[in-house]
Amino acid sequence: MLLAIDCGNTNTVFALCDGNEIRATWRAATRPQRTADEYAVWLTQLMALHKLSPNEVDAAIIANVVPPALYNLTGLARSYFNTKPLVVRDPSVKLGIEIVLDRPEQAGADRLANAVGGFVRHGGNLIILDFGTATNFDIVDAQGNFAGSILAPGVNLSIEALYMAASALPRIAIRKPDKVVGKATIPAMESGVFWGYVSMIEGLVARVKDELGHDMKVIATGGLANLFADVMPVFTAVEPDLTIRGLIEIHRRNTAA
């Protein structure tokens, strides 16, 4: 089985994959100081609950956007699963796509995995909308290449910034409010965040399509994608496991005989 690790700014996802099947996934808060030993104690106990053994893991791949975390994640793969992991963005790892940017080195490993996974599942001409620490709009062209992006603050980051900057405003949870116009502070804030992001997404998607001159499929991923899906007809599909699926494909491209 393949151990696929997606280390993001907020959370790290660990997935055990058997071919194209994702057998199990677990999520932990990203803490760069967490050691390989700590990861191993936590992860192997969760595997045991699913009747999975570390001995079943024979390969690993890592997408990481938190550089200080990489040492311990690779140590986990080497010491406890006896495998040398592929690391996305390492020069030796083939993505099978071009990065069509002025500064290709700035494209994050998770976003490249999303591009690969999105193209395999949906073909080209995609806007991949990832609701993470940032809200990313990544463009995948007709050939599957990573062709540009838009970056905006993430939903939870915006809520936290509003709470921190305005002493009279409370911290709120993101939810779909019943009405657009709020009659008290909390409903007004909920509306501003939720419907504000809906309007931003709809507006940016329309502008991207207009600028590129053709229709595009919009693939949503990330923890909050399902929350917005019911009110966003612009979404072609919601793919909660898109990054992991991209990592499965990148591993296949680097190990195929």
Q: Which amino acid is at 234?
A: V
Q: CA 113, CA 175: separation in Å to the nearest integer?
A: 28
Q: Which of 6, 18, 37, 110 is catalytic?
A: 110
Angle between helices 70-81 and 36-49 (to 10 degrees): 50
Q: Which tokens is 141 given?
A: 């062209």
What is the DSSP pairing of strand 11-18 with strand 2-7? antiparallel
Instruction: Determine contact, residues 149/136, Cβ cutoff 8 Å.
Output: yes
Look up 58 and say whether it is catalytic.
Answer: no
Rg (C-alpha) for the chain, rounded Å, is 19
Q: CA 77, CA 82: separation in Å to the nearest integer?
A: 6
28 sits in which H/E element: strand 21-29
Instruction: Determine contact, residues 121/128, Cβ cutoff 8 Å.
Output: no
CA 77 to chain CA mean position, Å: 21
Q: CA 138, CA 22: separation in Å to the nearest integer?
A: 24
Residues classed as catalytic: 110
